[in-house]
């Protein structure tokens, strides 16, 4: 289930937009990420080819189970790491930027250890 950082970002964005809107389209993703619609179309083609999304006749993008699993994993990492960095005194904007970088390279083992630590020593973070 290994995908590149770009694919992870797209899947996470689809997940987040899906929480905010009843349907997600390529133009919504392009607007959210500040990318050209043509670039998003190429990425959606690749995600569809790899079985991470489906696109219905109306152009609405849906996560498949594998796409949702990846998106939720990245989103959880982003949320926890952002909260942790903010709790450590990092300004929110910088914490979010740094979390976005870390979430793609951290191993599953290291993330789970951080998650256990946060849940044990800082349960108020809500993650």
How far apart CA 118 and CA 111 sit, in angstroms, is 10
* 39 & 84 share domain: no
| Domain count of the fold of the chain | 2
* pLDDT of 125 strictly over 60: no
Q: Phi/psi of residue 62, each to 5°?
A: -125, 140
The CATH number covering residue 85 comes to: 1.10.60.10
The CATH number covering residue 52 comes to: 1.10.10.10
* 90 & 107 share domain: yes
The H or E element containing residue 110 is helix 108-121
Confidence of residue 124 (pLDDT cuts 50, 70, 90): low
User: What is the tens place of the pLDDT at every residue in 70-95?
Assistant: 999 999 999 999 999 999 999 999 99
- In the prediction, which pLDDT does 123 show? 59
Residues 6+ away with beta carbon under 8 Å from 78? 12, 96, 99, 100, 103
* 46 & 102 share domain: no
Domain boundary among 46, 69, 92: 69
How far apart CA 59 and CA 30 sit, in angstroms, is 14
Domain enclosing residue 92, as ranges: 74-125
User: What is the tens place of the pLDDT at every residue in 9-20?
Assistant: 999 999 999 999
User: What is the tens place of the pLDDT at every residue in 22-65?
Assistant: 899 999 999 999 999 999 999 999 999 999 999 999 999 999 99
Domain boundary among 69, 87, 109: 69
- In the prediction, which pLDDT does 69 show? 96
Residues 6+ away with beta carbon under 8 Å from 96? 78, 82
């Amino acid at each position: 289930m290994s995908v590149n950082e770009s694919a992870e970002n797209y899947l996470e964005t689809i997940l987040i937009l899906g929480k905010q809107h009843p349907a997600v389209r390529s133009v919504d993703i392009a607007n959210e990420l500040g990318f050209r619609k043509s670039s998003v179309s190429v990425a959606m083609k690749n995600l569809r080819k790899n079985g991470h999304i489906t696109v219905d006749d109306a152009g609405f993008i849906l996560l498949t189970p594998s796409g949702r699993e990846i998106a939720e994993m990245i989103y959880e990492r982003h949320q926890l790491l952002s909260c942790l960095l903010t709790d450590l005194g990092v300004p929110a904007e910088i914490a979010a930027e740094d979390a976005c970088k870390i979430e793609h390279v951290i191993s599953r083992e290291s993330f789970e250890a951080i998650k256990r630590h946060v849940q044990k020593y800082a349960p108020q973070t809500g993650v």
